[in-house]
Structure 1
Amino acid sequence: MFNKKRRLGRKIHSMKVGEKLELSKKIEDKDILLYLGLTDDANPIFIQHDYASQTPFQKPIVPQIMITGIISSAISKYLPGPGSSIVNQHLSFPKPLYHYGTLTLLLETTVVNEDEHYIELRIEGKDEFGSIVVEGTMGICPPHELKPIAYNTGTFENF
């Protein structure tokens, strides 16, 4: 149990400025309903077509925090991957992403600071028409090298 091997993401010493990740996700009703059910968010702009049709948006939009969650998932899964943690974020949402839209994300490494164990990613997300729906930066703490917590004798190192 204590020595279980875990697949971790990229360590900071292997990361380089300029690395990129691109991925796409089509937003379906089930995705939005799961998000709204989990957060108990009842904002009508996210789900009510009759309400949204009377706003400048004209139709329901994808919650911006849900878009942020998709970005977070990409960081946790791929760049740098499992074991990483977001330490800051600066995002803007210049245009809405609509239901049934496709979000195409581009994440690019812009800073690698080994001394502070920190990387920064530039984030850009576009809809299926090429309009930017999210942009900004996120600061990430990549996965750390794991140290064994038990010797062969079965005792813990810190006891």
Structure 2
Amino acid sequence: MIDKKRKLGNLINDLQVGDSYTAVKIIEDRDLLLYLGLTNDANPLYIQHDYASQTPYKQPIVPSVMVFGMVSQVISMHLPGPGSHITQHEMSFPKPVFHNTEVKLTIEIIAIDEKNHRVALSAIGYDTEGEVIVNGKLYVCPAYKPNSLTASSLENFF
């Protein structure tokens, strides 16, 4: 990873209200099993078909924190991008997401606070039926451009 040049995300001066990014992802069983293994989360609602079939959902669902992880990934990798950091969020998950569902997420900048070096973003996600599966607002600190003499040691980020 050190040998590959990486670009920092957008700096606060590069961002404008209305900038947006949309990503589409299918949540596959492999992704779910990796998440559950990493977190040691053995909730039967997420993986046991026999249990989940006895609930109002009728089938296993995707953990809402995993859906939030997809929102976080879009922010970290695309808007504002690498070097950014989520400082606050409020999210709701009005409809469960089932395994192997295609999810469409859109992140949009709704306010910029240059004085405090943060941006407000809206996040909304839909399933293939067009129903909202995640909705929220986040505050994000965009990337800072290194300006010290030692910044050259991070040259793989320019």
Q: Secondary structure at the match of 2:50?
A: helix
Q: Give runs of aligned pairs for residues 1-159 of structure 1, distance below 5 A.
A: 6-150=6-150
Using CA pairs under 8 Å that are at least 6 residues apart, name the structure with larger relative contact order, 1 or 2: 2
Structure with bigger gyration radius: 1
d(CA) in 1 for partners of 2:151, 2:48: 58
In structure 2, the CA distance between the partners of 1:121 and 1:151, relative to structure 1 (3 Å rule), is: closer
Q: Which has the higher helix share?
A: 2
1:48 CA drift (Å): 0.6
d(CA) in 1 for partners of 2:105, 2:59: 22
In structure 2, the CA distance between the partners of 1:12 and 1:59, relative to structure 1 (3 Å rule), is: same
1:5 CA drift (Å): 6.6
1:105-157 deviation line (CA, Å, top 9, x unaligned) = 011100111111000110001111111010011100000121133399xxxxx
1:81-117 deviation line (CA, Å, top 9, x unaligned) = 0000000000000000100101100111001111110
Q: Secondary structure at the match of 2:149?
A: coil
d(CA) in 2 for partners of 1:121, 1:103: 19
d(CA) in 2 for partners of 1:38, 1:53: 25
Q: Secondary structure at the match of 1:150?
A: helix
Stretches of structure 2 that go unaligned for 5 or more consecutive residues are 153-158
Tell me whether 4-13 or 101-110 shows the greater mean CA deviation: 4-13
Q: Secondary structure at the match of 2:73?
A: helix
Q: TM-score, normalised by structure 1?
A: 0.90
Taking only the aligned residue pairs, the percentage that are identical comes to 46
Q: Secondary structure at the match of 1:98?
A: coil
d(CA) in 2 for partners of 1:13, 1:96: 37
Stretches of structure 1 that go unaligned for 5 or more consecutive residues are 153-159
1:5-56 deviation line (CA, Å, top 9, x unaligned) = 7520000011000111111000111000000000000000101111001001
In structure 2, the CA distance between the partners of 1:151 and 1:13, relative to structure 1 (3 Å rule), is: closer
Aligned to 2:155: none
Aligned residues: 149
d(CA) in 2 for partners of 1:130, 1:116: 36
Q: Secondary structure at the match of 1:69?
A: helix
How large is the Cα RMSD of the aligned pairs? 1.7
